[in-house]
């Protein structure tokens, strides 16, 4: 079949889950033309797509053994935020990509913080949507492969990949998912300087657009949180014109960090800024 199969929840369908060779993807949308083009492309990739004309209970999504879900929040109605939050809470391994009409920055930020892995604005090209799904699935697999890694300790902080949390003297630091992925990447580089482009590619999952300052924005936010939770220590160091390096170093007696003032101190242009 060359289009997305319109189907009701059915626990008897066989096939691999999102962690296998065949990716099961459900799309909650009513745009028949978009669904047809998207379905053809997904099937050429060997995926198992299915279309849902309306939201289904989270319990039914569990039965579908999905790897990814694409959803138009306009179809979800007033319960959209609650639905996305519940997906993130009860199906943490499910990739959720919102693909909807024009939305505000506040709406996109809210959706991403509640549990969506990515957010696209219609009209969008099916190839971009597929690439975003692939990137989110890839990040999820990488995170899963790190679950058995021992905690990383540096200075006063402890990084727990199995919990997606950072602790300072036993107290959890309030980090977003993106901020945690950022510190985990930097700390895992074992003192190596990571270029901004590499950081963006590995954390966001796709190439950094020209002029995008998202990496600088998130490093600045992360640095502020770490300095507040662990005063007296500097963890993220700026290498001007290159990128960032992670190393736990005590602040100098004069109260200054070991490296020069941060290159990202000024508020950058928030292009492509996503949690």
Q: Is the pLDDT of residue 17 over 90?
A: no
Task: Quote the strand ranges of 171-273, DSSP E.
Answer: 171-173, 194-195, 233-239, 243-250
Both 9 and 138 in one domain: the answer is yes
Q: What was the pLDDT predicted at 161?
A: 81
Both 138 and 159 in one domain: the answer is no
Tokens of 53: 């004309």
Both 62 and 34 in one domain: the answer is yes
Last residue of a domain, one of 145, 164, 193: 145
Both 47 and 141 in one domain: the answer is yes
Both 12 and 140 in one domain: the answer is yes
Both 141 and 162 in one domain: the answer is no
Look up the CATH number of the domain holding residue 100: 3.40.50.2300
Q: What was the pLDDT predicted at 143?
A: 61
Position 31 in a domain: yes
Both 140 and 186 in one domain: the answer is no
Last residue of a domain, one of 124, 145, 166: 145
Residue with tokens 């902080």: 157
Q: Is the pLDDT of residue 93 over 70?
A: yes
**Inter-CA distances, 271 with 81, 156, 213, 252, Å:** 24, 33, 6, 34
Dist CA 187 CA 49 (whole Å): 37
Within 13 Å, how many C-alpha atoms sit on residue 159's CB side? 22
Both 111 and 47 in one domain: the answer is yes
Position 166 in a domain: yes
Render pLDDT for 131-169 as a digit per residue (tens, 0 to 9). Answer: 989 988 887 776 665 555 678 889 999 998 877 889 998
The count of domains in the chain is 2
Dist CA 171 CA 233 (whole Å): 16
Q: What percent of the chain has pLDDT over 70?
A: 80
Position 257 in a domain: no
Look up the CATH number of the domain holding residue 220: 1.10.10.10
**Inter-CA distances, 10 with 23, 158, 197, 211, Å:** 16, 43, 42, 46
Last residue of a domain, one of 130, 145, 160: 145
Render pLDDT for 212-265 as a digit per residue (tens, 0 to 9). Answer: 888 999 999 999 999 999 999 999 999 998 999 999 999 875 545 544 444 443
Both 184 and 141 in one domain: the answer is no
Q: Kindly give the pairing relationship between strand 152-154 and strand 118-121.
A: unpaired
Both 184 and 92 in one domain: the answer is no
Both 139 and 207 in one domain: the answer is no
Dist CA 56 CA 21 (whole Å): 25
Position 182 in a domain: yes
Segment 20-32 mean pLDDT:
82
Both 169 and 124 in one domain: the answer is no
Position 260 in a domain: no
* 78: containing domain: 5-145
Position 269 in a domain: no
Q: Is the pLDDT of residue 112 over 70?
A: yes
Sorting pLDDT into bands at 50, 70 and 90, what band is 77?
Answer: confident
Position 262 in a domain: no
Position 270 in a domain: no
């Amino acid at each position: 079949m060359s289009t997305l199969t319109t189907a009701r929840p059915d626990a008897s369908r066989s096939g691999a889950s999102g962690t296998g060779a065949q990716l099961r993807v459900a799309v909650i949308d009513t745009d028949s033309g978009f669904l047809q083009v998207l379905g053809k492309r997904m099937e050429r990739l060997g995926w198992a797509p299915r279309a849902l004309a309306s939201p289904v209970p989270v319990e039914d999504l569990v039965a579908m053994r999905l790897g990814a879900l694409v959803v138009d929040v306009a179809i979800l109605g007033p319960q959209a935020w609650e639905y996305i939050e519940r997906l993130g809470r009860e199906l943490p391994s499910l990739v959720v990509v919102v693909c909807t009409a024009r939305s505000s920055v506040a709406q996109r930020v809210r959706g991403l913080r509640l549990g969506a892995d990515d957010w696209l604005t219609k009209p969008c090209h099916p190839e971009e949507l597929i690439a975003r799904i692939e990137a989110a699935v890839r990040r999820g697999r990488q995170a899963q492969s790190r679950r058995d890694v021992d905690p990383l300790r540096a200075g006063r902080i402890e990084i727990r990949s199995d919990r997606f949390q950072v602790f300072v003297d036993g107290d959890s630091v309030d980090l977003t998912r993106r901020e945690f992925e950022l510190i985990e990447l930097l700390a895992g580089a074992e003192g190596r300087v990571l270029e901004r482009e590499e950081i963006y590619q590995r954390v966001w999952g796709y190439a950094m657009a020209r002029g995008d300052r998202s990496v600088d924005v998130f490093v600045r936010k992360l640095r502020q949180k770490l300095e507040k939770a662990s005063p007296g220590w500097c963890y993220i160091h700026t290498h001007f014109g290159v990128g960032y390096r992670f190393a736990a170093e005590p602040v100098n007696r004069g109260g200054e960090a070991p490296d020069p003032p941060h290159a990202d101190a000024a508020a950058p242009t928030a292009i492509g800024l996503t949690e």
